[in-house]
A = this chain, B = another copy of it.
Amino acid sequence: MNDFSLADYLRDRQVVVEQALSDALTVSFPEQIYEAMRYSLLAGGKRLRPILCLAACEMVGGELAIALPTACALEMIHTMSLIHDDLPAMDNDDFRRGKPTNHKVFGEAMAILAGDGLLAYAFECIAHTRGVPSDRLVRVIQIVAHAASHHGLVGGQVVDLAMAGRADVEESILHYIHTHKTGALLKACVLSGAVLGGAEDVADLGVYAENIGLAFQIVDDILDLTATTEQLGKTAGKDTRDDKVTYPKLWGIEASQQKAQALVAEAKAKLAKYGAQAVPLQALADFVIQRDR
């Protein structure tokens, strides 16, 4: 693990994930819904969520293959939330990952249904995992469904929408939004991977995941202020335009960067007991704050 290259690791895993996602949705009748689901699911992106799931499974001693259906399911749920968030009734975004958003291409009705299909299919995929004891699968479904429901990302999006255009949002509310809208699913990625791999006590991994989730969001907010639309593949400066409260606006950019670094350092420390097996998850924690898009 001494010559571990995160760039190579990410490239390898992205290939595995892209193939599995494509295989999970081979076009059939009615073709329109498959095309709409595939359009957003296979639109690229970092694949951070499925890669975190696979890495957590392997770190605790599980085979990559047993985590692959759940990894794909997590990316499906993430994609569902992007498709629905982009709808005119929600954030009304025209571009995502440098491409027109789902409803711009397929219409609103199909975009709503593509999201619904991906959300339900995610659980179908997890429940059809082979070679994993059923009690682990049930626990994984508890974790993933909790993160996807109003207990997780739906709750985060609700509060985010309710706070839109309000400049007086308290830090505790901002924290709620981010730990739910972004953090909950990232945490589910790490915990589900670990459970699939056979881990019993996942408390340390929970802290790891919460910290990188929050760091991820802080960096997202900083990038919204400092990066270009071209670089992000989505509209930059949106938070300022929408008068949205963010960490860098509350704390300043420099203090936000330091906070993100401290969160990642603590996250990495939580993996100490896994020794060399933790190298990929530690590198992924660094990646969360070093990325430029």
What chain B residues lie within 8 Å of A37 (beta carbons)? 150
What's the least CB distance linking A66 to chain B, in Å?
14
What's the least CB distance linking A36 to chain B, in Å?
9
With A and B bound together, what is the CA distance between A84 and B84 in angstroms? 12
With A and B bound together, what is the CA distance between A228 and B6 in angstroms? 65
What chain B residues lie within 8 Å of A151 (beta carbons)? 121, 124
Partner of A123 from B81, B110, B123, B152 at Cβ < 8 Å: B123
Q: Which residue of B lies closest to A180 (CB)?
A: B30
Q: Say which one of A14-22, A137-145, A277-285 lies at the interface with B.
A: A137-145
Partner of A134 from B134, B149, B159 at Cβ < 8 Å: B134
Q: Which residue of B lies closest to A139 (CB)?
A: B127
CB-CB contacts of A252-267 with B at 8 A, as 1s and 0s? 0000000000000000
What chain B residues lie within 8 Å of A116 (beta carbons)? 80-81, 84, 115-116, 119, 148, 154
What chain B residues lie within 8 Å of A148 (beta carbons)? 116, 120
Most chain B CB neighbours (cut-off 10 Å) among A108, A116, A148: A116
With A and B bound together, what is the CA distance between A29 and B150 in angstroms? 10
What chain B residues lie within 8 Å of A168 (beta carbons)? none
Q: Which residue of B lies closest to A143 (CB)?
A: B127
Size class of A's contact patch? 35 or more
- The answer to the question of A109 belonging to the interface, with a C-beta cut-off of 8 Å to chain B, is yes
CB-CB contacts of A151-162 with B at 8 A, as 1s and 0s? 110110111011
What's the least CB distance linking A172 to chain B, in Å?
11
Q: Which residue of B lies closest to A152 (CB)?
A: B120
The answer to whether B123 and A134 touch across the interface, beta carbons within 8 angstroms, is no
What chain B residues lie within 8 Å of A154 (beta carbons)? 33, 113, 116-117, 120
What chain B residues lie within 8 Å of A121 (beta carbons)? 145, 149-151
The answer to whether B158 and A113 touch across the interface, beta carbons within 8 angstroms, is yes
Q: Which residue of B lies closest to A84 (CB)?
A: B112
What chain B residues lie within 8 Å of A33 (beta carbons)? 150, 154-155, 158
With A and B bound together, what is the CA distance between A139 and B107 in angstroms? 34
What's the least CB distance linking A169 to chain B, in Å?
13
What's the least CB distance linking A99 to chain B, in Å?
20
What's the least CB distance linking A222 to chain B, in Å?
26
CB-CB contacts of A127-140 with B at 8 A, as 1s and 0s? 11000011101110
Q: List 11 A-B contacts (CB under 8 A).
A: A30-B150, A30-B159, A32-B158, A80-B116, A87-B112, A89-B112, A112-B112, A117-B154, A123-B123, A134-B135, A137-B138
